[in-house]
Amino acid sequence: MAQENVNVVARIRPLSNESNDGTCIETDPISSTITLTTNQKQFNMDKVFEQNATQEEIFGYVQPLIATVINGIHGTIFAYGQTGSGKTHTMIGSDENHGIIPRAIEMIFIALNEESEKRNDNFKFKISCTALQIYCEKTYDLLNGNEKIEIPISDIFKNAKEVEVKSSDECMEILKCGLEQRKVSGTSMNETSSRSHAILTLTLKTEYFKENKKHERISRLNMVDLAGSESRKHTNNNKTQNFEASNINKSLLTLGKVIREIINPTQNQVISYRSSKLTMILRDSLGGNSKTTVIVNIHSNSKHATETSSTLDFAVNVKNVKNTAILQEFITSKETLALMQYCTPAFFHSQICIKTVTEVQRLGEENDKLKIELAKEKKINRITNKVCKFRLLF
Ligand SMILES: Nc1ncnc2c1ncn2[C@@H]1O[C@H](COP(=O)(O)OP(=O)(O)OP(=O)(O)O)[C@@H](O)[C@H]1O
C-alpha cells in the first residue's frame, strides 16, 4: 500500500479573441514547466498539454488511471481552473468531440465486456452511476428528476439515486439527461458557464472465482467538472450570477485551504474537510483512498495573469497531496459462501455483512492454520510417544 502523489496535468486552452493582449505564460513540455511571464515564476507539473492538444491526447493521459479503476481501485479525475478555461470542454466535450467522461465510460464497458467474453461464465460485472451538483453550497441529485430536493451530505452516495446501466450509450444518455438539469448560464466570460460543481460517479462491481474462492471488487470512478473561479473585474454579472460566483469562489478557496492543510499538517490539526460540501465529497480523493489526477485548465490571455497565477499555485500545492489507493477486493472462501446462504440478500450486500464476511473469512483462515499446527503437534506427540516406548523397551 504505497503512498502516491496526486498527479497534476495542465491543459492550456487556445487564446480567446476577447483582446489582442497575447499570452502570460511560456511552456516547456519537455520539463513540464510553465513560466508566468509577468514575474518569471516557474511551476512544475507532471505533464503540460499545449493549446493544440487534442481530446484524444488528454484522454490517453488519464487512460492508465481508468484502467486501475477497472482493476478495483478507486479513482478521481477533476478539472480545475478559472471560468472559461476549458474544464467542461475537457471533462464532457461536445457530441462531435468527446471529452474524458464519455471516453472513460466507453473504455470501461469495452474492457469489462472483453474480460467477460475471455473468461466465459467466470466473470460478472455491474456498473451503476450517480450524478450530483453542488450549487450555492447545496447538494442536488441530477438523476432524480427533481432539482429542488437537496440531498443530505451525510453518506451522500447512499442518499443519491444510483442507476444501473447496461451499456455505454445507456450510461451517457442518463448522464446527459442529468447534466441538462445542471445550473448553467451565459456570462461575459463564457456563454455556457457552469454555475455548479458536477460530480459524476461510476461504481464498478466485478466478480469471478479462482481456486474455489469468490473475488469481488468494488471500485468507484469520480469525474468532477468544477465550476470556475471568477474575478469581478472581468465579468459583468447580474445579481444572481454574483451570488453564484461568490459561492463558487468560497468553495474553491476552501478546497485550496484543505489542500494546504493536508500538505502542511500542524500538530493535532483536523483537516477541515467538513467546511464545504465539495471537500466532504472529495475527501477520499485528496489524502485518502484513491488514485487522483487533477487537470488544471489555463486561460492564458495576459489579462488573466492573476487568475492563471492562482491556478498554478493550486496545481503546485495539490501535486504534493499524497493518497494511498487500496485494492477494493473481498475474497470469500467456499465455506463462507455456504454460510452466507443463511443471510438475506439485503444483509449479504450491506457493508456490515461484508465486514462480517471478511471476519468470518479471517477466522476461517486462522482455523485452517491452527488445524495444520494441531496436526503437526499430534504427529510430533506420536513420534515422541513411540521414542519413549522404544526407550522403555531397552
Ligand atoms: N482546448 C480547447 N479547444 C477548443 N475550444 C476550447 C478549449 N477549451 C475551451 N474551449 C472553448 O472555450 C469555451 C469555454 O470552455 P468551457 O465551457 O469548457 O470552460 P469552463 O472552464 O468549463 O468554464 P466555466 O467554469 O465558466 O463553466 C467553450 O466554448 C469551449 O468550447
Tell me how far the alpha carbon of residue 74 lies from the centroid of ligand 1, in angstroms. Answer: 27
Let me know if residue 106 belongs to a domain.
yes
Tell me how far the alpha carbon of residue 117 lies from the centroid of ligand 1, in angstroms. Answer: 39
Task: State if residue 186 touches ligand 1 by the CB under 6 angstroms criterion.
Answer: no
Closest C-alpha among 230, 205, 225 to residue 215: 205
| Residue identifier of the C-alpha nearest atom 1 of ligand 1 | 13
What average pLDDT score do residues 17-22 get? Answer: 74
- Report yes or no: 92 and 103 within 8 Å, Cβ to Cβ: no
Q: Which of 154-163, 168-177, 295-304 has the lowest mean pLDDT?
A: 154-163
Strands 124-135 and 163-165: antiparallel
Confidence at residue 69, expressed as pLDDT on a 0 to 100 scale: 97
81 is in an annotated binding site: yes
145 is in an annotated binding site: no
CA–CA dist 306, 38 (Å, integer) = 9
Tell me how far the alpha carbon of residue 179 lies from the centroid of ligand 1, in angstroms. Answer: 16
Closest C-alpha among 237, 109, 261 to residue 172: 109
Which atom of ligand 1 is found nearest the CA of 89? 18
Task: State if residue 99 touches ligand 1 by the CB under 6 angstroms criterion.
Answer: no
Ligand 1: residue of 9, 82, 190 to mutate (most ligand atoms within 8 A of CB) is: 190
Average pLDDT of the chain? 87
DSSP for 332-352?
EEHHHHHHHTTS-HHHHHSHH
Let me know if residue 98 belongs to a domain.
yes
Tell me how far the alpha carbon of residue 87 lies from the centroid of ligand 1, in angstroms. Answer: 6
Percent of the chain with pLDDT over 70: 88
Q: Do residue 24 and residue 60 come from a single domain?
A: yes
Tell me how far the alpha carbon of residue 86 lies from the centroid of ligand 1, in angstroms. Answer: 3
CA–CA dist 323, 291 (Å, integer) = 7
- Report yes or no: 84 and 189 within 8 Å, Cβ to Cβ: yes
Let me know if residue 335 belongs to a domain.
no
pLDDT at 311 over 70: yes
168 is in an annotated binding site: no
Confidence at residue 124, expressed as pLDDT on a 0 to 100 scale: 95
333 is in an annotated binding site: no
Q: Do residue 296 and residue 362 come from a single domain?
A: no
Q: Do residue 282 and residue 377 come from a single domain?
A: no
Let me know if residue 337 belongs to a domain.
no
Domain boundary among 330, 353, 378: 330
| Residue 5: strand, helix, or coil | strand
Which atom of ligand 1 is found nearest the CA of 194? 27
Which has more pLDDT, 97 or 339?
97
What average pLDDT score do residues 372-391 get? Answer: 76
The CATH number covering residue 259 comes to 3.40.850.10
| Residue identifier of the C-alpha nearest atom 14 of ligand 1 | 84
Domain boundary among 304, 330, 356: 330
Q: Do residue 188 and residue 47 come from a single domain?
A: yes
87 is in an annotated binding site: yes
Which atom of ligand 1 is found nearest the CA of 192? 17
84 is in an annotated binding site: yes
Let me know if residue 338 belongs to a domain.
no
Let me know if residue 336 belongs to a domain.
no
Which domain covers residue 174, as residue numbers? 4-330
In this prediction, residue 393 has a pLDDT band, given cuts at 50, 70 and 90, of: low
Task: State if residue 193 touches ligand 1 by the CB under 6 angstroms criterion.
Answer: yes
Task: State if residue 60 touches ligand 1 by the CB under 6 angstroms criterion.
Answer: no
| Residue 204: strand, helix, or coil | strand
What average pLDDT score do residues 260-270 get? Answer: 87
Q: Do residue 375 and residue 281 come from a single domain?
A: no
Q: Do residue 304 and residue 382 come from a single domain?
A: no
- Report yes or no: 306 and 231 within 8 Å, Cβ to Cβ: yes
Task: State if residue 85 touches ligand 1 by the CB under 6 angstroms criterion.
Answer: yes
Domain boundary among 330, 353, 375: 330
Task: State if residue 72 touches ligand 1 by the CB under 6 angstroms criterion.
Answer: no
Tell me how far the alpha carbon of residue 310 lies from the centroid of ligand 1, in angstroms. Answer: 18
Q: Do residue 381 and residue 244 come from a single domain?
A: no
314-334 core/surface letters (b: 16 or more CB in 10 A; e: else):
bbbbbbebebebeebebbbbe
Ligand 1: residue of 11, 51, 88 to mutate (most ligand atoms within 8 A of CB) is: 88
Let me know if residue 169 belongs to a domain.
yes
Confidence at residue 91, expressed as pLDDT on a 0 to 100 scale: 97
In DSSP terms, which residues pair with 297 in a beta bridge? 11
Q: Do residue 158 and residue 266 come from a single domain?
A: yes
- Report yes or no: 324 and 45 within 8 Å, Cβ to Cβ: no
Structural domain count, the chain: 2
With cell 494546504, the residue in question is 260
Task: State if residue 297 touches ligand 1 by the CB under 6 angstroms criterion.
Answer: yes
Q: Do residue 103 and residue 226 come from a single domain?
A: yes
Please state the ipTM of this predicted complex: 0.98
Confidence at residue 104, expressed as pLDDT on a 0 to 100 scale: 98
**AA identity, residue 44:** N
Let me know if residue 296 belongs to a domain.
yes
82 is in an annotated binding site: yes
Percent of the chain with pLDDT over 90: 59
In this prediction, residue 370 has a pLDDT band, given cuts at 50, 70 and 90, of: confident
What tens digit of pLDDT does each residue of 197-245 get?
999 999 999 999 988 899 999 999 999 999 987 776 666 667 787 788 7
Q: Do residue 289 and residue 388 come from a single domain?
A: no
Q: Which of 61-75, 304-318, 338-352 has the lowest mean pLDDT?
A: 338-352
pLDDT at 34 over 60: yes
Q: Do residue 326 and residue 348 come from a single domain?
A: no
Q: Do residue 349 and residue 281 come from a single domain?
A: no
Task: State if residue 13 touches ligand 1 by the CB under 6 angstroms criterion.
Answer: yes
Task: State if residue 247 touches ligand 1 by the CB under 6 angstroms criterion.
Answer: no
Which atom of ligand 1 is found nearest the CA of 53? 1
